[in-house]
Amino acid sequence: MPFDLPQISIPIGVLLFVFAAYMVFYVLYSLFNIYHLIRYGVYGFGLYVLVTVFTGGTIILVSASIFFLMEYDWTLPISFQNTADFYNNDLFPRL
């Protein structure tokens, strides 16, 4: 008996929620780290250079990822209809 999925499709934009959740946790963790660097770090020029490089690198990486993600059409659906074609009875063979 073949496995048959109904006509289910979700937009690719759902994956952006995963990316947004990751970015929220990354920003919160980064702010936590910067606070502790400034509050408990050794006062000096090196501390400010480290915080500046970390913040600048974060801004560059986040903006680059956003610009790369803007190029795609996130309204296209992912269809689960053809995914069952890859299934066969030997998917999990006996060991």
3-state secondary structure of 10: strand
pLDDT, averaged across the chain: 80
* Mean pLDDT score, 79-86: 62
Domain locations along the chain: 11-73
pTM of the predicted protein model: 0.63
Quick check: 84 pLDDT over 60? no
Quick check: 92 pLDDT over 80? no
pLDDT digits (tens, 9 = 90+) for 41-58: 778 888 888 889 988 999
Q: Compute CA distances 62 → 11, 15, 30, 71, whole Å.
A: 23, 16, 13, 15
